[in-house]
Amino acid sequence: GTGFSVLIRLELSAPGSVLGDFQLYNLIVTTHGLVMIFFLVMPMMMGGFGNWLVPMMLSLPDMGFPRLNNVSFWVLPVSMGLLFCSAFSEGGFGGGWTLYPPLSSVMGHSGPAMDFLILSLHIGGASSIMASINFYSTWGNMRAGCHQFYRVPLFCTSIGVTSFLLILAMPVLAGALTMLLTDRN
């Protein structure tokens, strides 16, 4: 993500095109946005710090479902690999990290890059749902006897609320991606 950010800033630093290809610039912006949101903010910030701090703050030996935690972690490299496969197949998808619908249609990007990207986001969303179920159940059900809800550390509460919101939002994203995939094929 940082490397893509440097390339974006390099392109914008001088008049004219430094990279020489506008599709490449759009691809870099799209991949940067998706990497930063779906592979840094959600899994690393929430998952990384949450897996380290939540059990420690709640005086627990581990998360509620450690195997679910493991599966949600190991699914992420597959998802990221598919994201980079989409970047290297037929010029990649350069329609923005929001997957702007006219550009993500068959007329906008007819190759398999968009299909790889949709599959990547499906798998990343499944990983986020699994991790969120684990965090929410750990926060809600595994507090020690001395931790009533009003005495739980604020970080744990923020992880619990964020997990609840991800459990609500990710199926909607998966439904939208499925409809986009259906429209394309």
Q: For the chain, where are the alpha helices, taking DSSP H only?
A: 2-12, 22-36, 49-57, 66-88, 101-104, 113-141, 154-184
Side-chain half-sphere of 180: how many Cα atoms within 13 Å? 26
Which ranges of the chain have pLDDT less than 70?
Answer: 144-147
pTM attached to this predicted model? 0.85
CB under 8 Å to 29, separation ≥6 — which residues? 4, 8, 94, 96, 97
**Interval 3-56: pLDDT, tens:** 888 888 888 888 777 777 788 888 888 889 888 888 888 888 888 888 888 888
pLDDT at 26: 85
pLDDT at 9: 86
pLDDT at 100: 79
Domain boundaries, the chain: 32-184
